[in-house]
């Protein structure tokens, strides 16, 4: 009798093991998530690629970043369309031109491929959500920091990237913040096209014309570096305050050398990491408020995730750099 019970238990165990072996794995072998961005050689996007790599390893899915190595909305659109033709499990995209990307994003959604915007949004499209900086507030932070540095009085130049919604929101935030400081005047706005050399040339041209400038606000990654190079070459370092944007190595080095006063930093690693997490949830219909995200009357996820910003200057630079160094960033 005991022998029969033992055989029965063994049979149940074998059946259970066989059943578990036949279960469908959560992630498919060909599951793949793609980040499409412009100017992907920038340190900003290399940091995002690190977040992409880490979440891919953690989840056991394929990840990839694609896009042009110089700012070009048309080339980025081509990369998006090529990605869409490959039918990935989900797409992250930083939208360089909202009007240009609306139809392709909507087409992806109709095909059942979830699209999440990170860094730069296309709010008029049918994208599922936006993960990134509250750019209006980031612009306000930049404006307030400059106003404090100048004691509420001075002439300021803005360096931005025209045509991108995120940059335009930052400009709006700066203008809104400076309404509280009537002694500060914005004398010019430079479109550096995402190129520090253009920012350098623009600032140099203004100073060569003897334009009086007390402060420079960079609202995209290349502006602070370009402005600092210009001031250094003209022997005007520290004579004009620079509030930069993002944490490119050159920008942090500029703070260390006292070429740049402060920078407002974003979190591209976090954007990419959680972007894939959300895409993964959508692909597997994890959120069960509705039967299927693609047919739901409203998105089963938040519509906006603010990843936040921080201000780095000489007072906290060493701590910030140490924290960055403790987590080496892999590159795809």
Higher pLDDT, 17 or 298: 298
Q: What percent of the chain has pLDDT over 70?
A: 91
* Fold entry, domain 32-133+267-308: Rossmann fold (3.40.50)
pLDDT confidence of residue 1? 46
Superfamily of domain 135-265: Response regulator (3.40.50.2300)
CA atoms within 13 A on the CB side of 109: 19
pLDDT score of 27 = 77
CB within 8 Å of 31: residues ≥ 6 apart:
61, 62, 89, 283
Look at 163 and 225; give whichever has higher pLDDT.
225
- pLDDT band at 8, cuts 50/70/90? very low
Q: How confident is the model at residue 327 (pLDDT cuts 50, 70, 90)?
A: low
Position 76 scores a pLDDT of: 98
pTM of the predicted model, to two decimals? Answer: 0.83
Burial tier of 289 (Cβ tally within 10 Å: 0-12, 13-18, 19+): exposed
Q: DSSP character for 25?
A: P
Average pLDDT over the chain reads 90
pLDDT digits (tens, 9 = 90+) for 198-217: 999 999 999 999 989 999 99
In this prediction, residues 10-39 reach a mean pLDDT of 67
| Interatomic CA distance for residues 303 and 29, integer angstroms | 29
Predicted local confidence at residue 97, as pLDDT = 93
Q: Which range has the worst mean pLDDT, 115-129, 244-258, 313-327?
A: 313-327
pLDDT at 23 over 60: no
Q: Which residues pair with 184 in a beta bridge?
A: 154
Mean pLDDT over 268-295 rounds to 90
Task: Tell me if 32-133+267-308 shares its fold with 135-265.
Answer: yes
Low-confidence winner among 25-29, 54-58, 286-290 (lowest mean pLDDT): 25-29
Residue-range domain boundaries for the chain: 32-133+267-308, 135-265
pLDDT of residue 300: 82
Task: Say what the pLDDT of residue 304 is.
Answer: 95
Instruction: Say what angle helices 221-233 and 196-208 make with each other, to 10 degrees.
Output: 40
């Amino acid at each position: 009798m005991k022998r029969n019970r033992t055989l029965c238990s063994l049979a149940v165990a074998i059946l259970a093991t066989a059943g578990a072996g036949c279960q469908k794995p959560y992630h498919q072998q060909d599951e793949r998530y793609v980040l499409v961005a412009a100017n992907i050689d920038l340190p900003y996007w290399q940091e995002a690629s690190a977040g992409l790599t880490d979440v891919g390893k953690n989840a056991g899915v394929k990840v990839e970043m694609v896009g042009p190595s110089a700012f070009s909305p048309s080339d980025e659109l081509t990369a998006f369309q090529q990605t869409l033709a490959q039918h990935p499990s989900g797409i992250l995209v930083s939208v360089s031109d909202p009007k240009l990307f609306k139809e392709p994003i909507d087409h992806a959604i109709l095909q059942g491929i979830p699209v999440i915007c990170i860094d730069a949004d296309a709010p008029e499209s049918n994208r599922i959500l936006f993960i990134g900086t509250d750019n209006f507030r980031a612009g306000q932070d930049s404006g307030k920091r400059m106003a404090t540095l100048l004691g509420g009085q001075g002439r300021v130049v803005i360096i931005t990237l025209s045509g991108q919604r995120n940059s335009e929101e930052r400009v709006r935030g700066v203008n809104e913040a400076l309404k509280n400081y009537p002694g500060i005047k914005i004398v010019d706005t430079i479109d550096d096209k995402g190129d520090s050399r253009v920012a350098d040339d623009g600032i140099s041209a203004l100073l060569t014309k003897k334009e009086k400038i007390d402060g420079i606000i960079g609202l995209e990654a290349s502006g602070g570096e370009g402005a600092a190079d210009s001031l250094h070459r003209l022997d005007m370092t520290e004579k004009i305050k620079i509030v930069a944007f993002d944490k490119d190595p050159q920008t942090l080095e500029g703070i260390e050398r006292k070429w740049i006063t402060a920078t407002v930093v974003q979190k591209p690693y976090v954007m990419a990491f959680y972007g894939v997490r959300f895409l993964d949830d959508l692909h597997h219909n994890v959120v069960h408020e509705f039967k299927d995200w693609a047919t739901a009357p409203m998105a089963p996820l938040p519509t906006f995730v603010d990843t936040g910003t921080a201000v780095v200057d000489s007072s906290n630079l060493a701590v910030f750099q140490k924290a960055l160094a403790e987590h080496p960033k892999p590159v795809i």
